[in-house]
């Protein structure tokens, strides 16, 4: 079994090898799979999105944002609080314009700092995941800390260009996924 450090390195390289056209086409396929997933759960209203860091070839979640906007869902994202390095929850206006922060993360120009209490679904960034919903993130622990503050029944969805690993050894602070959506299907854990 590979260590988290080995998986992190391997998946960063895999992502780095993707051409921008591949990132876009796979992101659109993931969005189509998400739409199918959402059709069965149309009552969900409050969604927390991460936005892609281009240099890391992350899934382009702006396509998912478009779908959720069209369905009149309430959208949230996060920004890192510079004082305590925890994620703060921002409610997004419908026609949010974005700028790049110093880490290359798209951040809305206008947003409202809110409590995360209404969030029902969180899209969780990741590099790798396994058949049990364990994931490898970027190693900073921002999302594990953030997820601990949410209601236990919040639905946690990973987005990945790749199939799951057999098994990733979770650490005591890790919070697993409920689903992971790939270009081909939605995995349930």
Please spell the DSSP secondary structure of 5-71, one letter per residue: HHHHHHHHHHHHTS-HHHHHHHHHHHHHHHHHHHHTTTT--EEE-----GGGT---THHHHHHHHHT
Is 136 annotated in a binding site? The answer is yes
Is 4 annotated in a binding site? The answer is yes
Is 135 annotated in a binding site? The answer is yes
Is 143 annotated in a binding site? The answer is yes
Is 5 annotated in a binding site? The answer is yes
Is 86 annotated in a binding site? The answer is no
Is 22 annotated in a binding site? The answer is no
Q: Is 171 exposed, middle or buried (0-12, 13-18, 19+ CB in 10 A)?
A: exposed
Is 158 annotated in a binding site? The answer is no
**Token code pair at residue 21:** 């056209």
Is 58 annotated in a binding site? The answer is yes
Is 142 annotated in a binding site? The answer is yes
Is 65 annotated in a binding site? The answer is no
Distance separating alpha carbons of residues 29 and 22, to the nearest angstrom = 10
**Annotation: binding site for substrate:** 58
**Annotation: binding site:** 4-8, 58, 135-143
**Annotation: binding site for ATP:** 4-8, 135-143
């Amino acid at each position: 079994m590979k260590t988290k450090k080995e998986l992190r390195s391997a998946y960063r390289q895999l992502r780095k090898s993707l051409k921008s056209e591949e990132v876009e086409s796979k992101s659109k396929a993931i969005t189509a799979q998400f739409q199918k997933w959402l059709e069965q759960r149309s009552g969900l209203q409050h969604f927390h999105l991460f936005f892609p860091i281009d240099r890391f070839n992350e899934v382009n979640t702006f396509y998912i944002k478009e779908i959720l906007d069209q369905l009149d869902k309430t959208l949230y994202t996060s920004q890192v609080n510079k004082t305590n390095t925890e994620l703060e929850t921002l409610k997004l206006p419908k026609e949010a314009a974005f700028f790049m922060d110093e880490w290359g993360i798209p951040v809305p120009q206008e947003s409202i700092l809110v409590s995360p209490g209404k969030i029902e679904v969180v899209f969780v960034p990741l590099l790798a995941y396994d058949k049990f919903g364990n994931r490898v993130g970027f190693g900073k622990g921002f999302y594990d800390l953030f997820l601990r503050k949410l209601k236990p029944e919040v639905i946690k969805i990973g987005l990945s260009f790749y199939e799951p690993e057999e098994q990733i050894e979770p650490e005591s602070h890790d919070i697993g996924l409920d689903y992971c959506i790939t270009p081909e299907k939605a995995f349930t854990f």
